[in-house]
Amino acid sequence: MRKMAVTVIALMLALSAVPATQAAIVTERVGGAISKVAKSPDAEINAYFSGYTFILNSRNVMPSYPFDGPAFVYFAPNGALALWRGDAKVYPGRWEAGWFGNKEALLCMTFPGNNDGEPCVVLVSARTLIQERAKGNVLNLKAGAAVPVLLQRHQVDFKFVAKKLGL
């Protein structure tokens, strides 16, 4: 009995040494869900993006954005966004989503110094742009901040990056 108590105490000490930041990142594939969101009122569309980190892939969808291929984008509730494409910088921007008097709901992202082209994409056709999301700023993206690791394009995956960053 004494040996079992010592084992339990040792296990409890080992578990308490694991940092709380190593909690698993829970993600969801966006897929067809975006079609449903695209038919929702403005408040629901905004709630879908606000406070989430997404993996976006702009290839052949939004040539006016300052990234080509996959990127992580955190959509802050205050309309700010932080975009990281795996290089040494997190880019600042602004976002908004809704109907804006149009026939179709839009997701709009603007970036300083990049005013070429249309900053909005029709949500219902954005299934190839919007791939996966996780609640919160799971990668702790901060606009203008350097990041501790550089990624290859094929490494844009929540779980892979969280492990590389020690989250």
Per-residue pLDDT reduced to its tens digit, 130-141: 778 899 998 889
Highest mean pLDDT among 2-6, 64-68, 81-85: 81-85
**Mean pLDDT for the chain?**
74
Confidence of residue 65 (pLDDT cuts 50, 70, 90): low
Task: Tell me which of 38-47, 74-83, 157-166 is least confident.
Answer: 157-166
Nearest one of 108, 117, 115 to 81, comparing CA atoms = 108
Q: Which residue has the higher pLDDT, 142 or 29?
A: 142
End-to-end, the C-alpha distance of the chain in Å comes to 37
Confidence of residue 116 (pLDDT cuts 50, 70, 90): low
For tokens 């844009």, the residue is: 156
Per-residue pLDDT reduced to its tens digit, 32-63: 677 788 888 889 999 999 999 988 877 655 55
DSSP 8-state secondary structure symbol assigned to residue 144: T
Q: Cα(37)–Cα(50) distance, rounded to whole angstroms?
A: 13
The answer on pLDDT for 21 being more than 50 is no
Q: Which residue has the higher pLDDT, 54 or 28?
A: 54
Confidence of residue 102 (pLDDT cuts 50, 70, 90): confident
Q: How many Cβ atoms from other residues are within 10 Å of residue 12's Cβ?
A: 10
State which amino acid sits at residue 22. Answer: Q
Domain extent listing, the chain: 25-164
